[in-house]
Structure 1
Amino acid sequence: EATPVERMAHRLKTRAGRAAYALRKQTVEPVFGIIKSVMGFRQFLTRGLQNVQGEWTLVCLAWNLKRMAVLRPA
């Protein structure tokens, strides 16, 4: 049994593994960067799982509304 780090290193040595890992750049990860840098959301202001889930829902709602405003037809 290989460790998770060893499995990932092996995966990144294969062409298919590198292609799958490269998809991260075009999927959801840039959104997290935008939420952190543009929207300034760096940490949760509440404590407790339920409260954090609610706060994250509001952050996602704000992001989605922002995207809808940008992408709406003229």
Structure 2
Amino acid sequence: MTVVREVYAAKDKLGEVPVWDVAEQALYWVDIEGSRLRRLDHTSGKVDEWTFLERIRWGCAVNHTDEPQASTAKTTT
């Protein structure tokens, strides 16, 4: 039987996009309507929160290596 337990009472307006970061042992998620990004550290239980001026529309994972990453971003005029 699977046991589910609450680890953080976020009270998000619209919490979505949970992403588990293996290297950090942390869970990231966004509160779209609350314009917040949150990070739960699995080891300590600490939750970090960042608030933005607008709704968060997307996010991405980061590669955790010591190697420099090349940028493929292009600008248009």
Shorter-chain TM band: under 0.3
Q: Which has the higher contact order (CA 8 A, sep 6+)?
A: 2
Tell me which protein shows more strand as a share of its residues.
Answer: 2
More helix by share: 1
Structure 1 length normalisation: TM-score? 0.21
Q: Which has the larger radius of gyration?
A: 1
